[in-house]
Structure 1
Amino acid sequence: MSDLSDIRREYTQGGLRRADLPSNPMDLFETWLAQAKDANLSDPTAMCVATVDKNGQPFQRIVLLKKFDDKGFVFFTNLESRKACHIETNNKVSLHFPWHPLDRQVSVLGEAEPLSMIEVAKYFMSRPKDSQIAAWVSKQSSKISARQALEGKFAEMKAKFAQGDVPLPKFWGGYLIRPQSIEFWQGGEHRLHDRFLYSKSPDSSWQIDRLAP
């Protein structure tokens, strides 16, 4: 077994204090995301989405955040994918934004709900045409014999849709994750990290607690 115990570094990007916290966690998330974009981080909107299958087995994968507001966080996917099948039976999910170069993480616990067809269609039509075609090609999470089969199907569908618009597949959609809690983690020196947890109250206000590192 490889020994990785000596791999460590100090976190020196700065602290996070209660005085810095807005009452609405989405305001702080918007600030942090803007700073991640300004820092030219690779894929600043990438987030890990964790779901649980019917046997209680957790799964994780990286997807891209496409929209957020006070209601929550939005992403799009194949509705026949493994993640969508999990959400159908258990809509409780976790999101994680790993902004390592800024010594920051954001963790979200919430519930997924399907987006309306209007919302899905609006986003689908905004995608590049090749991305629209790719949505038709891949039966996400299913087993395939070889990459050539995927590339062949893509070429076939590209020829089919060479003229005109690419229609929205019935099996393609998206989800809004309504957060129940959002944790902001800022690395600190000597492992004295700053962690603040926003928890949604029954009246929809947010309670703020500092967590020990």
Structure 2
Amino acid sequence: MKAIDTMFVFLAPGAERAGKRIEQQTAGGVNAFVWVPDAEAAAEVVAAQAAAGLELVELYRGFGLREARRVVDAVAERAPVGVSGFGFGAAAGGAVGDSVTIYGADLDDPGVRRVEVEIAGRRTSVVPVADAAGAAKAAAEAVDAGAEVVEICGGTPLTTAALVEQELAGRAAVGLVSWPFESITGAAAYKAAFEARA
């Protein structure tokens, strides 16, 4: 299996069991964006990639604590796992509708590009931005286009997520990927290695 540096995993009922996967080769490594139907499939996909040297995992689109735990257990401390703070919204039993995930990137990197995926009538946009102002603008544009959930990558400062939330003024739920205690050391090591490569 090909080595992946970073994997963003999205819950998407209706996705194929093996997951819909899009990879981007960037100057900082290889990013994989993967849509899976449920937590069991997420655990399988992430565990297989962790065995091949995965460096970091972020969970999006409705992962609650129980769903995230399945992935954490499957990874078995081989990579840090962060989860979007929007997971609580899935507990009400409703699947996430249209969403946007925003992450910081060097927009001059030819490998960095916007990703759009639609599964079972629900759209996910993954949008790279250069800075906090770009994040707020991207979030507002996504919500104007119908996104109900805005999720901010774990490599983004909380202050940026707060600016996005302020910009949206309650028009959409906003979540920020957070790192549980057992993932802090691994996430810090990933950050240092990423900055050294950039």
Q: TM-score, normalised by structure 2?
A: 0.25
- Greater Rg over alpha carbons, structure: 1
User: Normalising by the residue count of structure 1, what TM-score does the alignment of the two structures yield?
Assistant: 0.24
**When you count helix as a share of all residues, which structure comes out higher?**
2
Q: Which structure's relative contact order is higher, taking Cα pairs within 8 Å and 6+ residues apart?
A: 1
